[in-house]
Amino acid sequence: MSDDKYWDDARGDVDIASTRALSRRSVLQLAGAVTASTTIPEAFANTTPAAAPTPAAAIAAKVSFSVNGVRHSLELDPRQSLLDVMRERLELTGTKKGCNQGACGACTILVNGKRIVSCLTLAAMHSGAEITTIEGLASNGDLHPVQEAFIKHEGFQCGYCTPGQIISAVGCIAEGHAGSAEEIQFWMSGNICRCGAYPGICAAVADAAGRN
């Protein structure tokens, strides 16, 4: 395996605004949404306090984070995964549940600019996080360049894995891991496609990376 595949270096976290095709409009909108949101007192943002947990404390964990630029403060069951909270509490059902075991990538979202699988993390552990789901990529009807590239190259068939593929591709490109077909295959391998749309997916990622 060539060194390049690994080491065409990580350039850093995803800044969604900068991954959009030079849409200053969308940058301003994103910033607006964040400043307009309610400020949450620091104490509220923490999970239950460290001192002497009682069974009653098990019922609820308080958490506050921003999703696609909108701040949410929620009371949760500590058992709820970030994935379940996105889908069931916030009704952001674009993010999919495939395996629920970290093995398929359908649930990929960005947390603080990094792609992660949302099924293997507890929502209660993400106070203060900035989260982006597939719903947060398009802006004012303008698709994100990665979304456009998936349509152009038919990077899907049934579409179930697609939100995860697209978010993962945004991460992959921002990390600087989309330099060659081989590199894209390796760094997109956390996302499984049962329909086998891989040729289209790889072409879409390469195209979108080239446009950035």
Partner 1 sequence: MIPFTITQAPSTHEAIQAAAAGGRYIAGGTTLIDLMREEVERPDRLIDINALPLKHIRAEGPDLIIGALARMSEVAVHPDTRRLHPVIGEALIEGASPQLRNMASMGGNLLQRVRCPYFRMLDAPCNKRIPGSGCSAIDGLNIGHAILGTSDQCAATHPSDVAVALVALEATMRVQGPQGERTFPVEELYRLPGDTPHLEHTLLPGELIVEIRVPGLSYSRRARYLKVRDRASYEFALIAAAAVIDLDGGVIREARLAVGGAGTRPWRLRAVEQALKGKRLERATLEAAARTAVEGARPLSGNQYKVELLPRTIVRALELAGEIA
Given the rule CB under 6 A, which residues bind ligand FAD? 102-103
CA–CA gap between residue 63 and residue 125 (Å, rounded): 8
Ranges within 137-176 binding ligand FES (CB under 6 A): 156-162
User: Where are any strands of DSSP class E within the chain?
Assistant: 61-67, 70-76, 108-111, 114-117, 130-132
Please name the helix (run of DSSP H) or strand (run of DSSP E) that holds residue 52, with its range, or none: none
Phi, psi for residue 98 in degrees, rounded to 5: -100, -85
Residue 121 CB, nearest distance to partner 1 (Å)? 5
Which is closer to ligand FES, CB of 38 or CB of 101? 101
CA–CA gap between residue 178 and residue 172 (Å, rounded): 6
Residue 107 CB, nearest distance to ligand FAD (Å)? 12
Please name the helix (run of DSSP H) or strand (run of DSSP E) that holds residue 199, with its range, or none: helix 198-211
Residue 135 CB, nearest distance to partner 1 (Å)? 18
Whether the Cβ atoms of residue 12 and residue 127 lie closer than 8 Å to each other:
no
Question: Of ligand FES, partner 1, ligand FAD, none, which one does residue 60 interact with (CB within 5 to 8 Å by kind)?
Answer: none
CA–CA gap between residue 18 and residue 145 (Å, rounded): 11
Residue 112 CB, nearest distance to partner 1 (Å)? 10
CA–CA gap between residue 129 and residue 110 (Å, rounded): 10
Q: What is the total count of residues that contact ligand FES (CB under 6 A)?
A: 23
Which is closer to ligand FES, CB of 59 or CB of 195? 195
- Chain contacts with partner 1 (rule: CB under 8 A): 6-7, 9-10, 46-50, 53, 55, 57-58, 61, 78-79, 81, 100-102, 105, 108, 114-117, 120-122, 124-125, 168, 171-172, 175, 177, 185-191
Whether the Cβ atoms of residue 18 and residue 145 lie closer than 8 Å to each other:
no
Whether the Cβ atoms of residue 140 and residue 68 lie closer than 8 Å to each other:
no
Tell me how long the chain is. Answer: 212
Which is closer to partner 1, CB of 139 or CB of 164? 164
| Amino acid identity at 155 | G
Question: If binding is defined by CB under 6 A, does position 194 make contact with ligand FES?
Answer: yes
Residue 157 CB, nearest distance to ligand FES (Å)? 4
Question: Of ligand FES, partner 1, ligand FAD, none, which one does residue 193 interact with (CB within 5 to 8 Å by kind)?
Answer: ligand FES
Query: In the complex, which residues of this chain contact ligand FES (CB under 6 A)?
Result: 97-100, 102-107, 117, 119, 156-162, 193-195, 197
